[in-house]
């Protein structure tokens, strides 16, 4: 397990906190923690970062919407390799800045989907997928309705996204991405 970034406060108070880049990793076989290399940048405050394990790296995606009208939000994408204790920056997705998006690892791509605007009044029904080897992002087609909750799952050779809006009790729409990037996207149902 890797824990990194966030806010650090000398007295535990949020108003005295500053963005942190330090972190630690837990070794399950020895039940011990050790310090890791600092991240190359801080994560956006209130961005609700999310992370996935690829089998060799931890990929971290974090975005925060603009809280000041007329300004852009921020997005940070990082990869941490525990064998070399190194971080690398990856390019941003180009998605509108948001908070609360979900991420899933398909076996060869990071999928980032959904999220909310700065005051949680509007949901995003879009996403993107990243090939971390090439650093290339691809936009995904938008879902047919705005989504407040997204639940990712892997099944066979596809990454499924089940989505629910704020007004219904059941799944509003669903779609899937192939884990093999040469296959095609299945349309939303």
Question: Quick one: residue 155, left, alpha or beta (phi over 0 = left, psi -120 to 50 = alpha)?
Answer: beta
pTM: 0.77
pLDDT at residue 61, as a whole number: 93
CATH number, domain 2-178, options 3.40.50.150, 3.30.230.10, 2.120.10.80, 3.90.700.10? 2.120.10.80
Q: Where are the domains of the chain?
A: 2-178
CB 125 within 8 A of CB 116: no
Which of 9-18, 26-35, 45-54, 79-88 shows the lowest mean pLDDT across its residues? 45-54
What is the band of 7 on the pLDDT scale with cuts at 50, 70, 90? confident
In 3D space, the residue among 182, 172, 52, 161 whose CA is nearest the CA of residue 114 turns out to be 161
178 exposed, middle or buried (CB, 10 Å; 0-12, 13-18, 19+)?
middle
Q: Which of 55-59, 142-146, 163-167 has maximum average pLDDT?
A: 55-59
In 3D space, the residue among 50, 80, 79 whose CA is nearest the CA of residue 62 turns out to be 50
pLDDT at 43 over 70: yes
């Amino acid at each position: 397990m890797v824990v990194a970034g966030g806010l650090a406060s000398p007295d535990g108070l949020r108003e005295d906190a500053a963005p942190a880049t330090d972190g630690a990793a837990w070794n399950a076989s020895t039940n011990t923690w050790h310090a890791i290399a600092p991240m190359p940048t801080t994560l956006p405050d209130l961005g609700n970062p999310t992370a996935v394990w690829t089998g060799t790296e931890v990929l971290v995606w974090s975005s925060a919407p603009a809280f000041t009208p007329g300004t852009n939000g921020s997005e940070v994408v990082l990869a941490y390799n525990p064998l070399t204790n190194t971080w690398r920056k990856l390019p941003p997705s180009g998605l509108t800045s948001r908070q609360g998006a979900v991420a899933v690892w398909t076996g060869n791509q990071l999928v980032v989907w959904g999220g909310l605007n700065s005051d949680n009044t509007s949901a995003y029904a879009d996403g993107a997928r990243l090939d971390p080897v090439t650093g290339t992002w691809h936009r995904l087609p938008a879902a047919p309705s705005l989504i407040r909750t997204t639940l990712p799952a892997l099944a066979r050779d596809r990454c499924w996204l089940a989505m629910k809006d704020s007004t219904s009790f059941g799944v509003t729409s669903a779609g899937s991405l192939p884990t093999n990037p040469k296959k095609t996207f299945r349309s939303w149902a």
